[in-house]
Amino acid sequence: MAGGGRLNKTPCKKAREMADLELFRRALPGTRAYFPVLLITLVGMQLPWDRPALLGIFLPLWLWGGLSRYLMSHQALRRYHENPNLWRTRFRSSILLTPLVWGLFGATTVVLSGLQWDVAFCVVIAAGLGAGAAAALNPDLRLRRAYPLTLQLPMIAALLSLGRSGLGIALLSSVYMIYLIRLGEGMGRRYWSQLGDRLFVEQLSQLTLALVGNLSQGEVLTRLSDHLQCLLEFERSRAVSADGEVLMERDYAPLSGSIHSVQVAVGPITFFLESGQPFDEEDRQVLQTFTHPAATALDRNRLFEEVGRLALTDELTRVSNRRHFLQRANELVQTTTRLDQKSGARTPVCVILLDVDHFKKVNDTHGHDVGDRVLREVARRCQAALREVDLLARYGGEEFSALLPGANGTEGAMVAEDRLRRSVADHPFEGPEGPLRVTISLGVAQFCGDLTETLKRADQALYQAKSDGRNCVRQG
């Protein structure tokens, strides 16, 4: 699959970085080959040695061009990410020194060599192309156009200055120069297409690998957005739930001018992208491909959350179950213990156990369906009577427990009496044969340093409340 229409038409930032670094690496072998090519050229040409002034001018330029290319290639690889545009420009300038020097030398050679200008011209062309390692310049659009122009235009101008004797080769050189440019264009298109495929596979692999972990919904959407932005370079992304809630929004760059948008479904979530450039069909294919693993990750997360919720929630009453209550109570005990050790004071924590009075009679008289409705309504009313930080749980059968952080025994008893007991006793339940009066008995205990002992005292207080006639609160 192609790396996206936008990537093939206008390389994205990540693709440009990959191409630049690859270009710098590929230029190093050509840079190392520069000096042997220069030596062979000087040994094979008699003209520079016959004209010391010519050699004195161009030899320093050749050496300067080779050394600058060598140093720039190494520096660009090491410091590219500090300022990509700066090092891209510096590298391009250092590379273009080669065809410029060889082009000027070739033009001078054509003018000075007399009857041997054609041989000199061919040698300069071969040496110039070889010393420049032109094949390594295909990823850079400007270089693959500028290199043959810089190398050959001075020599073509020199050939034309010779009159009719140089006209034929000047025309052939012009055709050859155009051919090199067109060849570079074709190779460049193939290069960017292959680079687009590589980048597409790399980003998709990274996203898929990241989504193997148990990420939250927001993390999944953010990673999806970042990997897509690397390919398509849009300015803004948003994820919206089925009911219109914005789940994720990221701004990558200011939006200006015409705004083009595209949307794709990620499971039940709609994913929007906004950009100053239009999206085409290949961009939509990239979107569809990337959103598939994201949708799978979101489905897996929802399943994990549901399994986790069922493991910690009582199925009938929809409040926490005994396991969750004990887990939270132990976590709270550990936290308050650490705080107490630092502050030197005791953080109050209160535990309440409550039991529905005469619940067996409700089941025997009205049936288990009514009994289940009573338990659900008791749980709902008690939940409403507690604070958000408090935890209500079904402890077993018709018995419930409540954990009140920050409340001592007296405060817990007041909550139990004024809010919990009255929320149940003061309002009859709807029964199949009319109003049904239900009451609860409650036992309260303040945490004493040992959770098991605290629960035991709360249970003893609950037993005392039942012995005292039920529908009351006792403190242990």
CA torsion sign, 65 to 68 to 73 to 79?
A: negative
Residue-wise pLDDT for 47-99, tens only, equals: 667 778 888 888 898 888 888 888 888 888 888 888 888 888 888 888 888 88
What is the average per-residue pLDDT within 338-343? 65
Of residues 93, 98, 97, 88, the one with CA closest to residue 22: 88
User: Tokens in use for 446?
Assistant: 């303040």
End-to-end CA distance of the chain: 71
Which pLDDT does position 2 carry in this prediction? 45
In this predicted structure, what is the pLDDT of residue 458?
93
Decide: helix, strand or coil at residue 426: coil
For residues 409 and 418, is the Cβ–Cβ distance under 8 A? no
Domain ranges of the chain: 5-205, 215-311, 320-475
Interhelix angle 164-210/281-312, rounded to 10 degrees, is 10
pLDDT of residue 1: 43
pTM greater than the 0.85 cutoff: no
- Ranking 208-222, 327-341, 392-406, 407-421 by mean pLDDT, the lowest is 327-341
Q: In Å, what is the CA distance from 49 to each residue of 34, 46, 52, 66, 118? A: 20, 6, 6, 21, 18
Instruction: Give the model confidence (pLDDT) of 90-124 as tens digits.
Output: 888 888 888 888 888 888 887 887 656 666 666 66
Q: Per CATH, which fold does 320-475 belong to?
A: Alpha-Beta Plaits (3.30.70)
215-311 placed in CATH 3.40.1160.10: no
128-154 pLDDT, tens digit each: 665 555 545 567 777 878 888 888 888
Per the CB < 8 A criterion, the answer to whether 445 and 461 are in contact is: yes
Angle, CA 267 vertex, CA 15 and CA 213 arms, to 5°: 65
Cα-Cα-Cα-Cα dihedral of 96, 101, 103, 108, to 10°? 170
Confidence of residue 433 (pLDDT cuts 50, 70, 90): confident
